[in-house]
Amino acid sequence: MGLLVLLSLVLITVSFRSTALDGAQGTAAAVLRPFEVAADRVSRPFRDAAGWTRGLIDAKQDNKRLRAENAKLRQQVILEESSIQENVQLRDQLNYHGPPSVADFDQVHTVVLTKPQNAIDQSVSIGAGSSEGLRVGSVVVSPTGGLVGTVDRLFAHLAHVTLLTDNQSAVTAIDLTYPTAVGIIQPGGGGSDVLVLDLVSKTKFVAEGDTIITAGSIGKDKLPSMFPRGIPVGTVTSESSNDINPFKNIQVKPLVDFSSLRSVIVLVPKR
Amino acid sequence: MDGVKAALVLFVASLLQLAVLSEYRQFRTASIVLVALLSIALLRGSVFGAVAGFGTGLLLDTATLGTLGVTALLLTVAGFWIGRYGETTARDRFHAPYVSVAVVTVLYAFGLVALQFVLGQPAPAGLVARTLPLALLINLLLTLPVYALIRRLFPPHELGDRVREVRLLG
């Protein structure tokens, strides 16, 4: 028992303080991967059946809501397409250099291998690593485009991703409708997936339902943002202010359902 | 033989935890691995429990790409302690697996918080305290089938090793 405890402490120290064991851990995790995939495939039909049954209950309501939403979005797309064309023309005329956007990165599509394992854990492991061009700090988004988190540990064919809901995550973000409302997106605490847009001045206007996106910054600054501009983070669910707090209290519902992530896209520098 | 069986049971439990149960937020706080390990430790003793705990912890740390040794340390201590309990006061007690799972679920959760704190990682004790009742409930519900299955696979030594004859010495 004493020996095993000592061995555990040595492992913790070496693993936490250096990358000496990363190679062995990456190889062992890669060996385990087929078993995890097999377990996932065996259990998938049961989970799908449960999901299908649950989906049937909400289907009628969803259908009505989505039809209305679809009509609204169709109008919005037409307006936005003309705005994009105008934007491209004006950028060319002005020779404007803005912060990098998602289009400036290559996309690596990969599977989510393991989900958070306990209440404290806010991380997932994914099936792509340094061999696929990932770097520590690479931004991870969901297939629908919402911000998921960043790569924090890298192996040859695997990577460890810290989710946006982790206590150590912080992202500069802006309100898409009122871009002068700049703040920091942080986890709301309490174990839920709710986020908080902090440090937004009381003088700025933010409304419920607004979309929050990453602010990004031009990479030539001393401290450039890791995140390209324009990645959707979520929508504002509540906004208030009081006399004690110098900033607004803004709650944001993330676009991504972190508990049901099955695949993600990692943004890597263009080769 | 017991070692191979234990390795197989804990490997399957780990796969279940990693690939199936962690899909559901409610089950993330609970742990079928912990319940299976404690059941084996109760039936096979402290050294067996500690070794099984270390191996299982290392497997989980490796698969999740987490800090190696964290889960291994907690499960080693849990396996040893419950194994010792099984060797002494818990013999043939009906409530032993339930008491073991309840106590270790609480200690494991706060042990993890303490370890995270020592490592300088986020250690939200309040969040753990809030999710603990559900974890406790699910783990206790899992104990009934898991312990019954493991008891069939690892029959208590007392039954097999009971002295059937007396041999006079001298």
Residue in chain A closest to B28 (alpha carbons) equals A118
> Mind telling me how many Å the CA of A257 is from chain B's nearest CA?
11
CB A156 within 8 A of CB A129: yes
> Mind telling me how many Å the CA of B56 is from chain A's nearest CA?
12
Q: Does the complex come out with an ipTM higher than 0.85?
A: no
Minimum-distance CB partner of B63 among A36, A166, A168: A36
Q: Which domains does chain B have, with CATH numbers?
A: 2-156 (1.10.1760)
The answer, for A106 touching chain B at a CB cutoff of 8 Å, is no
What per-residue confidence (pLDDT) applies to A220?
53
Minimum-distance CB partner of A36 among B15, B29, B47: B15
Spell out which residues of chain A touch residue B107, defining contact as CB-CB under 8 Å. Answer: none
Residue in chain A closest to B80 (alpha carbons) equals A1
Measured between alpha carbons, how far is residue A193 from residues A167, A197, A204, A251, B151 in Å?
Answer: 11, 13, 25, 11, 39
CA separation for the pair B131, A225 (Å, rounded): 34
**What does the longest C-alpha to C-alpha distance in chain A come to?**
72
Give the number of A-B residue pairs with CB atoms closer than 8 Å. Answer: 145
Q: Which two tokens stand for residue B75?
A: 């499960």
Measured between alpha carbons, how far is residue A173 from residues A137, A186, A200 in Å?
Answer: 17, 10, 10
- Residue ranges of chain A with pLDDT lower than 50? none
Residue in chain B closest to A44 (alpha carbons) equals B20
Determine whether the interchain pair B72/A260 forms a contact, defined as Cβ–Cβ distance below 8 Å. Answer: no
Q: Enumerate the H helices of chain A as residue ranges.
A: 2-17, 22-94
What per-residue confidence (pLDDT) applies to B82?
93
Mean pLDDT per 10-residue run, chain B (170 residues)? 90 88 73 92 91 93 89 94 87 85 93 89 82 90 93 76 61
Determine whether the interchain pair B20/A47 forms a contact, defined as Cβ–Cβ distance below 8 Å. Answer: yes
CA separation for the pair A231, A227 (Å, rounded): 8
